[in-house]
Structure 1
């Protein structure tokens, strides 16, 4: 990154220099020799945080916070499995780069260092004449004529950046609080309580949560795990031989959620043998048919049955081929009837062919394990949830239950296909995360130790919180009549920004000026290359967007090697489209 930009050279502005912006830059470097050789270009990266890691993966955060993927499953580089027009440029996974065991869940500081290295390597790989400039500021808005140069206005800078193309790789965003959150915060202010709304846990100020005091926690996902770590080990406690030794500075955390249990453990063994041939029931042809429906499609009516069929196929393919002694018929006979059967026929087929209910795939029971379950006391609930977590850990670390890993592979396949459908609502993403993107096994064992130590208390499913009589009160149908009172409430989940409610002024103003949004509030983009759509469905020739704020969002922060990587495919398509546009523009300037 050097040299000052010149006004007569083409200019590309990338807003967001975290993993997605870095991934786009890598694809620009890979495709430039073919599409932009010999021409000058200024690339401006706009992000107040360091390039590579950005805000979420910055190196300056607690070393206690882990990644949620094994080091061998994290890569920033393409491989031959990615269906893209650009060239493959292979590089090391996190574990290869760091020289660590591939099964380790590395801390986020190390991932930040990896991302910084990827960024520096990518900049060094750019052809001569392409120069990168980093602006450590926030981008406030974008304006400019549709057919002319864009202007990107930066915080604390009087002059705008001139841009021939703008790409928004904003990553995860903050949101303005919803009405419920505003009301809870106002109540807390009026009664001297503590209310922490949804936030990125590493950025939250937890100092107001007093030692020994009860704290209600709503949310049982990965933000909750980070919260627990920072309030226990982060305050001087330690785990020794499976037990937790308190420091005395911990609050007492009362946690509940819609499901009332933690996300399922990461699977703790490797795949062996034949993989299920996926996709089988939800592939490109089925997605094409859904997209071609004259009246559109409904997720639960039209898509979910195909998802169920696909995941069931993965599960039973593995059961019948790896554990045939636990089945009653030959796989060839089973799969023929499975393919032809409707939901009721499939259920009857499975009941007759798979004798042990524990070997049958029940997605509803996996999703809501406490549905209909009632405990007579809070203490009974503590024992019940601990037993549930222990069973989950045992199963997810025993290859005798390898159909679970086949379902995980099925989930990855399904997610890669569903990206093409755009915004399908939040339910699917939550289900995927709960089943496939839960915490590492060691984290769940730590939660068990914290529960036994009395630092962590379970509230139950469908937890409700009310503000009354100067306190917060939590209730759950899992323990009828039980009420937990506290003077502090933490919403342990990430913000859910929409284009209207995001605290990012750039995105909010784009929407106000005519950019299209989905019913879920995601920025609508052209699935072919990420160009931002207006409300008539027309793509903007000079504005692109990639990442979780768009309806082309992917399944997670990072891509597993050799899994096709939809994010890689999107980055490549956007990079090639931007370079082709800039090449044509450069030729016009030269003429």
Structure 2
């Protein structure tokens, strides 16, 4: 790039992904002098934390990963070195040694007790993001200027001279050479059932809280002392649970073998429902993000290379899942032999027979599972067998005579799950899940950018595996299960049961929820909370900017073909790599327009996960810092490198 060339770019979205693009632009300009670059950063929320990670939100909202995990600063020696910043864990340790004078008392208190293996609040991660941005803007290379616009971008339109006009909500307009769409979580329209519930609530004077980012919800609207239906028992559920219990003055007391809850009297009666009837399984207590005792033997980089060398574009159900299935079986049974010596009479013979049965080249796809069953029948009693698919549905096949019976079963499940989590690498079930967790990192690379067929993506990866693995490997810390069990024993939380059906009883003027597996009348409430995040689907987005881009034909949703040849609209934008550029409605690619993050969900899998810091001694999966490499590619393209 010549010294006389001036470049102006706009980054729309100033959360972690927008910050990563900014960081990469500064890194490249620092190593090559003569850059004359102006960066406009646009977001109605303060830059760095963006919308989700605001530092002033409740500290009851926890991250879903431990301190050692996240980063917005790359650690790849092949990339331009950062001008400032570090991983969250190193920042945490630095604040413990020499805290910034701008930290609040609450932030100092949390950091003082926060270990590398603990789960930070989202608020303290937001403080890290803000501090990182401040460090970056304090090291701006010569020739680079940055302006932050605390407003929304409403439109992006190409002009005749090859630039873009960016319309802002404050009435201003920017002219730039390129635009980066790092939009993150955007509002979405309700689905037909949700619209009907919302409409009926308005007619009947009920309270309906639609899907939302938890920190955006006014929890004071939820009345104390009344039943409240809560749909969803994933991560947003635990956020709602915390706000409506501890957030209202209740206390958890660790005074014996079981955690106890002392109500404040301001809690509602939470009636929780999900398709499985139980929350996500909790994370095992580990020294790293992945269990060290689990190493993938079948779903490996070498296996993926064999597909490529044979000219095979693998299918998920036919090619990839059978390999990961083998890995989960081996992780479970090898841990069983190691941690429970009496479970298998002849461990050496068993593992040798199991290894032979699992060997991918030894049996056809139709026979290997039968071979494994034969080995298990000889060596392992029924009590110690693994029901892999059943792990995600612990109440499947059971009926309950009453809600009290169901509640007792869920509490037993929660306590057993927390107990297993505490065992860490000594628990066979948690290590089977650990193999799935390892495998998910490999799959992210394997399936990206058309790595599997459309029909396999639709029916297999997104059709069943995504929800299955999230329910097992994306859960909260074990403390949340112990807290939920304590709340159930205290009568503050009860459950609906699996496969719930929601509706409105207009005669009674209430929301209803019932499970076909619980032989009791429907649960009823005048308040219903959707403990779900807004859907990440471009076609359902309520973002004015995405709406304009779609209407003008500058972007389009990706269409995928099912096995029957029917087109299905995918969740994300249609894009061309690399870097990712949206495909217009006419099939062309608009130069200078780039996409990063959640709207790539039809080209990448697992786009909601933050970038993973390199963990000494742990596996370094290529997918771990994929977002940061994507940001680097965008930065180089903007600068013409």
TM-score between the two structures when normalised by the length of structure 1: 0.88
2:496 alignment partner, SS class: strand
Shift, 1:145, TM fit: 4.7
Q: Contact 2:229/2:272 (CA < 8 Å) preserved in 1?
A: yes
1:92-134, CA deviations, whole angstroms, 9 ceiling, x for partnerless residues? 4334344331122222221111111122223334422122211
| Cα distance change, pair 293–236 in 1 and its aligned pair in 2 (3 A) | farther
- Which residues of 2 match residues 192-271 of structure 1 at below 5 A? 192-241=205-254, 242-270=259-287
Whole-angstrom CA distance in 1 between matches of 2:291 and 2:60: 36
Residue of structure 2 in register with 1:484 after alignment? 523
- Of residues 6, 9, 30, the one that matches 1:9 is 6
2:43 maps to 1:25: no
Shift, 1:447, TM fit: 0.8
Whole-angstrom CA distance in 2 between matches of 1:494 and 1:87: 35
Residue of structure 1 in register with 2:398 after alignment? 373
| Cα distance change, pair 322–487 in 1 and its aligned pair in 2 (3 A) | closer
Residue of structure 1 in register with 2:102 after alignment? none
Residue of structure 1 in register with 2:488 after alignment? 451
Shift, 1:490, TM fit: 1.0
2:600 maps to 1:550: yes
Whole-angstrom CA distance in 1 between matches of 2:466 and 2:205: 36
Q: Contact 2:572/2:599 (CA < 8 Å) preserved in 1?
A: yes
Q: Greater CA deviation, 115-124 or 316-325?
A: 316-325
Larger RCO (CA within 8 A; separation ≥ 6): 1
Whole-angstrom CA distance in 2 between matches of 1:346 and 1:124: 62
Q: Greater CA deviation, 256-265 or 360-369?
A: 360-369
1:173-194, CA deviations, whole angstroms, 9 ceiling, x for partnerless residues? 2101111111111101111111
2:434 maps to 1:384: no
1:535-591, CA deviations, whole angstroms, 9 ceiling, x for partnerless residues? 56554321111112222253523424344363633432443344344337xxxxxxx
| Cα distance change, pair 318–22 in 1 and its aligned pair in 2 (3 A) | farther
TM-score between the two structures when normalised by the length of structure 2: 0.81
Shift, 1:316, TM fit: 4.7
When the two chains are superposed, the root-mean-square deviation of aligned CA atoms in Å is: 3.1
1:111 alignment partner, SS class: helix
Q: Greater CA deviation, 132-141 or 357-366?
A: 357-366
Residue of structure 2 in register with 1:129 after alignment? 143
Q: Contact 2:70/2:610 (CA < 8 Å) preserved in 1?
A: no
- Of residues 555, 568, 576, the one that matches 1:515 is 555
Q: Contact 2:445/2:622 (CA < 8 Å) preserved in 1?
A: no
Residue of structure 2 in register with 1:400 after alignment? 426
| Cα distance change, pair 33–337 in 1 and its aligned pair in 2 (3 A) | farther
Structure 2 unaligned spans of 5+? 97-113, 449-456, 559-568
Structure 1 unaligned spans of 5+? 1-6, 585-591
| Cα distance change, pair 147–336 in 1 and its aligned pair in 2 (3 A) | farther
- Of residues 38, 41, 47, the one that matches 2:37 is 41
Shift, 1:514, TM fit: 4.4
| Cα distance change, pair 409–127 in 1 and its aligned pair in 2 (3 A) | farther
1:161 alignment partner, SS class: strand
2:329 alignment partner, SS class: helix
Shift, 1:75, TM fit: 2.6
Whole-angstrom CA distance in 2 between matches of 1:225 and 1:274: 28
Q: Greater CA deviation, 494-503 or 228-237?
A: 494-503
Residue of structure 1 in register with 2:57 after alignment? 61
Shift, 1:353, TM fit: 6.8
1:128 alignment partner, SS class: coil
Residue of structure 2 in register with 1:345 after alignment? 370
1:347-368, CA deviations, whole angstroms, 9 ceiling, x for partnerless residues? 3255147525565443211111
> How many residue pairs end up in the alignment?
573
- Of residues 443, 447, 463, the one that matches 2:500 is 463
1:448-468, CA deviations, whole angstroms, 9 ceiling, x for partnerless residues? 111111110011111111112
2:190 alignment partner, SS class: coil
Shift, 1:304, TM fit: 3.4
Shift, 1:426, TM fit: 6.2
Residue of structure 1 in register with 2:476 after alignment? 439
